[in-house]
Amino acid sequence: MKANFKSPDLPFGIDLALPQLGGNARKTNHDYTGGKLDELIDITIESGAKLFVSAVGVPPKAVIDRLHAAGILVMNMVGHPKHAAKALDLGVDMVCPQGGEGGGHTGEIANSVLIPAVVDVARKYKPPMLKGSPALVVAAGGIGNGRALASSLMQGAVGVWVGTRFVASEEANCSEEHKRSVVDCGFTGTERTLVLSGRPLRMRTNEYIANWQAQPDKIKELCDKGIVPMEYDFDQGNEVDPPHIMGQVAGLVQKIQPAREIVDEMVAEATTMLKLGGAYLAGGAVSSKL
């Protein structure tokens, strides 16, 4: 990975899916690390990563402590305020609430409700790594332009985590078909399903997913047994057409662009919106070029 950096000294992060196993966890959860979490943490530390991100679950306290001892910040993806509190209680430095409109694994709470709620939770914590600063919040889900960036900052986030918009970038490693699928999706072309992983996951609906969604009882029966529906199809030799993962913000994406161009446009638009907000407070004449 570092060999592909234009500068090997650029800061980078590593993220892993670490779902809870056993107990009251979903029966379809499994160890995505293949029992090699300690080894992967060794690699994270030795590679010089600056940030470690955990999704669909909270890292064990011992892992958080090891990462902190190496000077690495830890962030947890969350879909509910109670998940943020759990992660912060264990010692993470940052939480990333992803609204239900986001692509990939996601919860049910909309971005506009979730972000301020998690900000209120995070303000109660002061992780030692942040030297007196409250825990940081990075917003995610439905963020694809500068207006969403400005909105996130005004809700108390310190930054944003952008996925779908960068899928439709020239540099993205996904297929050209996936990129075009984002651009062509529209506003109502995605939905959440248990079919791909046994966990709610938002993707662009296709005929394969639609056929499964018409069988909710079958999905529940399999998932209750710990069987992921798509894996069931693979095992049975059934035809499978995996969908492209993306969030509802795909409806706003009009074209594939260089990543730098996407960032520049987001920053410029966010700056305009933040200045507009300041003008409202100043009580002066306001004009918007939206």
pLDDT per position as a tens digit, 76-109: 999 999 999 999 999 999 999 999 999 999 999 9
Residue 289 above 70 pLDDT? no
**Domains in the chain, please, with CATH?**
2-162 (3.20.20.70), 176-249 (no CATH)
Pairing relationship of beta strands 73-78 and 94-97 according to DSSP bridges: parallel
| SS3 state at 241 | coil
* pLDDT, mean over the chain: 94
List the one residue out of 274, 286, 56 whose CA is nearest residue 155: 274
- What mean pLDDT comes out for the span 165-182? 97
DSSP at 77: E
Strand partners, 55: 17
Tens digit of each residue's pLDDT (9 = 90 or more) over 175-216:
999 999 999 999 999 999 999 999 999 999 999 999 999 999
pLDDT band at 14 (very low <50, low <70, confident <90, very high): very high
**Whole-number pLDDT of residue 284:** 62
List the one residue out of 229, 144, 211, 223 whose CA is nearest residue 182: 144
Residue 34 above 60 pLDDT? yes
**Whole-number pLDDT of residue 287:** 59
Tens digit of each residue's pLDDT (9 = 90 or more) over 130-161:
999 999 999 999 999 999 999 999 999 999 99
Residue 286 above 70 pLDDT? no
List the one residue out of 115, 136, 110, 140 whose CA is nearest residue 125: 136
Which of 2-6, 184-188, 280-284 has the lowest average pLDDT?
Answer: 2-6
**Higher pLDDT pick, 5 / 111:** 111
The proportion of the chain whose per-residue pLDDT surpasses 90, expressed as a percent, equals: 87
The proportion of the chain whose per-residue pLDDT surpasses 70, expressed as a percent, equals: 97
**Whole-number pLDDT of residue 22:** 83
What backbone phi and psi angles, to 5 degrees, belong to 22?
Answer: 75, -175
**Whole-number pLDDT of residue 24:** 83
Which of 26-30, 149-153, 168-172 has the lowest average pLDDT?
Answer: 26-30
Distance of CA 233 to the CA centre of its chain: 27
* Rounded Cα–Cα distance for residues 255 and 236 (Å): 38
**Whole-number pLDDT of residue 181:** 98
**Whole-number pLDDT of residue 25:** 84
Contact indicator for 186, 251 with CB cutoff of 8 Å: yes
Could you tell me where the DSSP H helices lie in the chain? 37-46, 61-69, 81-90, 111-122, 146-154, 164-167, 176-184, 207-213, 216-224, 229-236, 259-282
